[in-house]
Amino acid sequence: MLLSVKVHYHSYDAIIVGAGGAGLRAAIEVAGKVKTAVITKLYPTRSHTGAAQGGMCAALANVEEDYWEWHAFDTVKGSDYLGDQPAIDIMCKEAIDAVIDLEHFGMAFSRTADGHIDQRRFGGHTRNHGEAPVRRSCYAADRTGHMILQTLFQQCVARDVKFFNEFQVFDILFDDTSQQRKVVGVVAYELATGDLHVFATKAVLLATGGYGKMFKISSNAHTLTGDGPALLFQKSIPMQDIEFFQFHPTGIYGFGILLSEAARGEGGILRNVLGERFMDRVAPTVKDLAPRDMVSRAIHAEIVAGRGAGPEKDYVFLDLTHLPPEQIDSKLPDISDFARTYLGIEPKTQQIPIQPTAHYAMGGIPTNVDAEVLADETGATVLGLYAAGECACVSVHGANRLGTNSLLDIVVFGRRGGKKMAQYVLETDHPEITKDAHIPFQQRIDELKNANGQEKVAIIRAELQETMTKNASVVRTHDSLEEALGVIEDLSKRYLNISIDDKGNVFNYDLLEALELEHLLELARAMVVSAQARTESRGAHWRDDFPTRDDVNWMKHTLTTKKPDGTLRLAYKPVVGGKYPPMERKY
């Protein structure tokens, strides 16, 4: 007997799951053309896009010479040659229009004295293929994502987009009767009431963001639990390049809260306990503005060499003390407040303790450049299913994303996905879905509410985060990954024996966190298994036991699929090249 629950039925042409930058940009494209709803577990303006600080890049050449081709070169090199060059070309070329679009939507960018959109330096962005750092990132102080999110949300409101706020999607429904799999609906849980909602729809675009909450030291919001990727993964859709996860060099020590790379773009310097500017040695040309994978490894190397600070010698410093105080106030107001609030440090006069923090998922749901989801390594698509933003892998970031390329990715591919979805919907019939489509999910809720196991969600999550940060972060080895895998497998068994305290229907976060934990466990296992198989070092995936890039054997994308029996299958597909042949990555 199922516990009684109210079920509501809806019918839409298109459903967008997620109201961050990618979801909202897609919604603008479909609004007014087809009957669309956006379902989001957070109120839209609370999405993690709003936490993005430093900027969004485009070769506008407002402050110095620049071309989209230089941007593309930097992105390919930054990706450690794992990015697909045709997709990168599209992103860098369309970047310019994407920024102008935002300006026309009313976005409040920081400006130059003569009124143009100002641009600042960011890691790995260079002039003329690596000569020197270039000013390519458009920004709004250190609140760029906040401004983008507000701007896009206002445009959605102006277009009468229908939002289901604080509704969490937990099942994606497919018609598997014909040869090509086809999406037909989603099942969502309403946070305020515990009611279930079944949405029949011709198309679904997932824009659910990242999964950085599988790590202990992380810049990510608590809500970034990989729901979209995990829901597809559970239904045998592969994850692409999931072993590649970015660690941002400058997280606040002990917390992981991000201090934007903009701090170094504005002239900030990294120093070890001896006061040395160690990036001089590692990247003589661009120094502190090397790409994130290299800077995070350089910090790790300083710590291993005993040149870290503090009682455990496990952090280094971000030094802004030489910058004019008025520059800190006008260009970096939020992050200087974070240093004051969380560490009691005044960044104008004191150096800030920092350590690498889990930041960004390069891998995710495989898509083509129109955000259509790929079913396998042959490139076959799933009808009506789209993904864009951090949950997707196009792949434009390859093994390492350059700073400011994600805010760009979400608007460029959100827009392309929205366009393609609107077109598809107009040519497709409405699906039939049965009245009991919600039953499997309802059974899952009942199981959790009725369970009286001894294990607690918060404890399992904390142990997962601990092992991922210890064993699967900036530096990995076969043995560290083996240890992580052992812990994850053990935690997954213990997860079967959890119980929750709140059995109610109203804002039951106890229940939701239990469901989200399953997503984190699944994706962590996929990450660790894929990372163990990749016996080379490339971008953010550094193997101390295989410390070189191996283009002969590993110039290929990983596709990790969960088989119906629960085991994982690893398949590979070639990287799509272009005009930039692989070369050694020096800066």
Ligand X SMILES: Cc1cc2nc3c(=O)[nH]c(=O)nc-3n(C[C@H](O)[C@H](O)[C@H](O)COP(=O)(O)OP(=O)(O)OC[C@H]3O[C@@H](n4cnc5c(N)ncnc54)[C@H](O)[C@@H]3O)c2cc1C
Residue closer to ligand X, measured from CB, 98 or 320: 98
Provide the residue type at 189 as one letter.
Y
Alpha carbon distance 238, 457 (integer Å): 26
Question: 3-state secondary structure string, 129-156?
Answer: CCCEEEEEEECCCCCHHHHHHHHHHHHH
Query: What residues contact residue 579 under an 8 Å CB cut-off, 6+ apart?
Result: 85
Q: State the residue number with the nearest CB to ligand X.
A: 20
Determine whether 423 is exposed, middle or buried from the number of CB atoms within 10 Å of its CB (0-12, 13-18, 19+).
middle
209 vs 366 by CB, closer to ligand X? 209
Find the radius of gyration of the CA atoms of the chain.
23
Q: Which of 63, 53, 70, 72 is nearest to 117 (CA)?
A: 63
> Can you tell me the distance from the alpha carbon of 317 to that of 257, in angstroms, rounded to the nearest whole number?
15
Residue 136 vs 541, nearer CB to ligand X: 136
Q: Identify the residue whose tokens are 């509410």.
A: 449
Closest to ligand X by CB, 5 vs 533, is: 5
Active site residue: 292, 461, 476, 538, which one? 292
Q: Is the Cβ of residue 278 or residue 413 nearer to ligand X in the bound state? A: 413
Q: Rule CB under 6 A: which residues touch ligand X?
A: 17-23, 39-42, 47-49, 51-56, 144-145, 168-169, 207-209, 219-220, 227, 258, 260, 360, 389-391, 404-407, 410
**Shortest distance in whole angstroms from residue 58 CB to ligand X:** 11
Residues near 456 by beta carbon (within 8 Å), at least 6 away in sequence: 498, 499
Nearer to ligand X, 145 or 268 (CB): 145
Whether residue 525 lies in the annotated active site: no
Q: To which residue do tokens 């109210």 refer?
A: 6
Shortest separation between residue 74's beta carbon and ligand X, angstroms: 14
Pairing of strands 167-175, 182-190: antiparallel
Give the nearest distance from C-beta 49 to ligand X in angstroms: 3
Say what the alpha-carbon torsion angle 89, 94, 95, 98 is, to the nearest 10 degrees.
-160
Which of 448, 268, 434 lies closest to 348, judged by CA?
268
Residues carrying an active site annotation: 292
